[in-house]
Amino acid sequence: MASKAYPVATAAAADWRDFLALTKPRVLTLVVFTGLCGLLAAPQSIHPVLGFTAVLCIALGAGAAGALNQWYEADLDAMMARTANRPLPAGRMERQSALHFGVGLGIFSVLLMGLALNLLAAAILAVSILFYVVVYTVWLKRRTPQNIVIGGAAGAFPALIGWAAATGRVETLPVLLFALVFLWTPPHFWALALFINSDYARAGVPMLPAVAGQRATRIQILLYTVPMVAAAVAPWAMGLTGAIYGIGASLLSAVFLLLAAQVGFSRETDPARMKAERRLFGFSILYLFLIFGLVVADKVLA
């Protein structure tokens, strides 16, 4: 279990902003968006109230996972400038509160999904929360640079959950969307890790740049981008989506590949190296928003 090498919460009670911060709200926007798009892309439409409930459950479940992640690794967060001001390492909240909040929210989200939508969606939601907390945070993050490759699967589940909430089934298109987010995660994160490498290294987290070096990381980024692009165009190639998605996804993927190649082939001494890494990280987020938006646009407009 994480040690307590950070200020323990004092008299000042945490307020709602601290509980919100525990859910990692900015990352949550994309997690929830992919879940919403999975739901809207499904062939069966459901009542808007049920649809809203499903997306709410994904948001609450992912927020719970974020809270439990912060409960477990407050010691790590205290060592990194980017995370030191989170409620636990900053001493604004007691660990117990974060634990109770995370467990309560997680159980509530899965129960509500099971009762209001269906058991399949609830089961996948439960698996993704456990995957992020147990497989990624507790087991892999501090042990192997493959942490985000395997553990990152947690963030790929929401599209499947959205689809399953609407249909009660798992089908080829959401599985391809799962594969897309799964393969997108390494380039997304390693691009960032390249320019904040020292932060993770200081905290002793074995992220790929610190373990295998910058050059190997750049090559890995490129190696994951190629199958990611294949997963992005596969729905079109397999006739599961139309030309709106196909053309849009191909163009966006070409840009992603170009930016990944810039990173992949840049040299340590290249002064534009960091700029390329930042650009790839920023674009990775826009890319996923747009690709998922296209899946829905394709269904609505075609």
Q: How far is the CB of 151 from ligand HEM (least distance, A)?
A: 5
CA gap 99, 166 in Å, rounded: 31
CA gap 210, 198 in Å, rounded: 8
The reply on whether position 154 binds ligand FPP by CB under 6 A is: yes
CA gap 31, 289 in Å, rounded: 10
What is the CB neighbour count within 10 angstroms for residue 100? 13
Residues contacting residue 237 through CB under 8 Å, at least 6 positions apart: 246
Q: Are the CB atoms for 193 and 67 separated by under 8 Å?
A: no
Give residues 15-74 in contact with ligand FPP (rule: CB under 6 A): 24, 27, 31, 58, 61-62, 65-66, 69
129 binds, among ligand FPP, ligand HEM, none (CB under 5 to 8 A by kind): ligand FPP
Give residues 79-118 in contact with ligand FPP (rule: CB under 6 A): 83
Task: Return the HEC string of 144-179.
Answer: CCCHHHHHHHHHHHHHHHHHHHHHCCCCHHHHHHHH
30 binds, among ligand HEM, ligand FPP, none (CB under 5 to 8 A by kind): ligand HEM
CA gap 231, 292 in Å, rounded: 13
Q: Which is nearer to ligand HEM, 6 or 136 (CB)?
A: 136
Q: Which is nearer to ligand FPP, 61 or 145 (CB)?
A: 61
Give residues 151-170 in contact with ligand HEM (rule: CB under 6 A): 151-152, 155
> Which token pair is 247?
């053309």
Q: How far is the CB of 197 from ligand HEM (least distance, A)?
A: 12
Nearest-CB residue for ligand FPP:
155
Burial 111-138 (b: 16+ CB within 10 A, else e): ebbbebbbebbbebbbbbbbbbbebbbb
The reply on whether position 214 binds ligand HEM by CB under 6 A is: no
- In a 13 Å sphere around the CA of 19, the CA atoms on its Cβ side amount to 13
The reply on whether position 189 binds ligand HEM by CB under 6 A is: yes
The reply on whether position 284 binds ligand FPP by CB under 6 A is: no
# chain residues binding ligand FPP, by CB under 6 A: 19
Point out which residues bind ligand FPP (CB under 6 A).
24, 27, 31, 58, 61-62, 65-66, 69, 83, 125, 128-129, 132, 141, 154-155, 157-158
Q: Which residues bind ligand HEM (CB under 6 A)?
A: 26-27, 29-31, 34, 136, 148, 151-152, 155, 181, 185, 188-189, 192, 285, 288
